[in-house]
Amino acid sequence: MDFCQILEPKQKALRINLDAHIYGTLAEIGAGQEVARHFFQAGGAAGTVAKTMSAYDMIISDKIYGREKSGRYVCQDRLEKMLNHEYHLVVDRLADIRGEDTKFFAFADTVAAKSYSGRGDCHGWLGVRFQHESGAEASEILLHVRMLDQENIQQQEAVGILGVNLIYACFNYASDPVKIVSTLMDNLTTRRIEIDMIRVKGDAFAGIDSRVLSLELVKRKFTSMVMFDENGQVIAAKDSLYKKNLVVLRGSFRPPTHVNMDMLDCGKNMFLKELSEDDKKSLEVLPEISMSKLIERGEVDNKDFLARVDLLSTIKQKVLITNYDGYFSLNMELQSICKKKICFVTGVYNLQEILDIEKYENKPSGILGALGELFGHSTKLYIYPAHDDEDPTKLNTISDVPFDSSIKNLVNHLLENELLVDVKDYNPEYSGIWSRTVLKMIQNDEPGWEKMIPEEVGKRVLEKSLFKS
């Protein structure tokens, strides 16, 4: 059996300090100089650290790095300016002196730790710009994190450990995507810190897709969700969804079908009628794919998930990847982020499962608590009709969903308050399409599946020979 020793931050810092080829700058704003402290306390820091600094004063920070248009200091733009400034400074000053055998780097973080008032979101950006070989073009890795400790000093300590892990990973695991992600949380737990975005670029990470790293974050439960924009690129989910009204469709999208797109369109059109003019401007339409069951079975295939992200991007759809099993827990998380209204578009058979009281036998709060988590104060379900299993000519709606008589009054409450609403203006030509049927046809080389999915999706499936196994 292969046992992997997890090094302490001091051990990692010392190993870097003793590597005569690694030399650079550490610039930290907002949570002390905790990363630099590890390198100094480990010993031998003179061999690694050219300079440490903390431009803590906002005016000084603006004078050095420039002012952000947004006025924010804890943001990706500020981090990239810090990395750019510090990296070029150390290279320009020292390349002629020791450039032939040195791998230069700049580490930076900009963090909003817990304040005395106790208000505000505790989060931050960390990054490293570095040479993986002497004289090489710079490569870069960026992280966005949320700090969950209750005390400022604990948050500082967590940032310090993560920063050391990040620098160590750059110089030891840049070619191994699994190792990069897995070692970032060495000596930390998800009760202390959450990494919700990671992005890499440069020759050090040749052949590594940033999106794979993001999927690894979800797979390892270092974060509950990651998000991809309409171009298939990684974005910070919680920043992107903050104060947004959401239309969410849960599905496999393997592949995206006409019925998936019709469900999203119907949900959007229905939701727009309920929103104010101001709220309409902040509406986000979002397919969501859960890894939950696949994680439990150990069957998560990163390539398969990326294929689905690519297919959705061909029709300009953003997508959320999560590790939530039920609608209830997903809604609770989304509500805490968006702080606005949410509607889930789902099918009749999913509603039947949601109202199945046997599903809640192991849940302490039972079906009543689960439905409370699902609907809360500002969430509703739009129910898309589906063909009856026994009578294909019949379309089932909410009224056809069976449920235990003990929750009749509860279901009536949801109906009367329009928290459960039938989708009316659907396209009847699409209502009989099932993703699993399309997938089986593709795998068996059966003709006709192309008519069931958007044209752009069909072309990509053929070009890449997707879903053949």
Q: For position 113, what pLDDT does the model report?
A: 86
Q: What is the mean pLDDT of residues 343-348?
A: 96
Closest CA to 163 of 359, 12, 56: 12
CATH T-level assignment (fold) for domain 238-464:
Rossmann fold (3.40.50)
Q: For position 136, what pLDDT does the model report?
A: 95
Beta strands in 88-177 (DSSP E): 103-112, 123-130, 139-147
Domain ranges of the chain: 9-223, 238-464
Helix (H) or strand (E) holding 234: strand 234-235
* Model pTM score: 0.88
pLDDT at 272 over 80: yes
With 0-12 / 13-18 / 19 or more C-beta atoms within 10 angstroms meaning exposed / middle / buried, residue 101 is exposed
Closest CA to 104 of 145, 67, 132, 66: 132
CA atoms within 13 A on the CB side of 306: 15
Angle of helix 302-314 relative to helix 455-464, nearest 10 degrees, comes to 140
Task: State how far Cα 88 lies from the chain centre.
Answer: 31
Give the dihedral sign, CA 314/318/322/324: negative
- Tokens 């979002």 label which residue? 286
For 395-447, write each residue's pLDDT tens digit: 899 999 999 999 999 999 999 999 999 999 999 888 888 888 999 999 999 99
Give domain 9-223's CATH architecture.
Answer: Alpha-Beta Complex (3.90)
Q: Which two tokens stand for residue 155?
A: 């948050």
Rg, Å, the chain Cα set: 25
Give the dihedral sign, CA 162/33/149/319: negative
For 94-144, write each residue's pLDDT tens digit: 999 987 899 999 999 999 988 765 666 889 999 999 999 999 999 999 999
Helix, strand and coil in the chain, % to nearest 5: 45, 20, 35
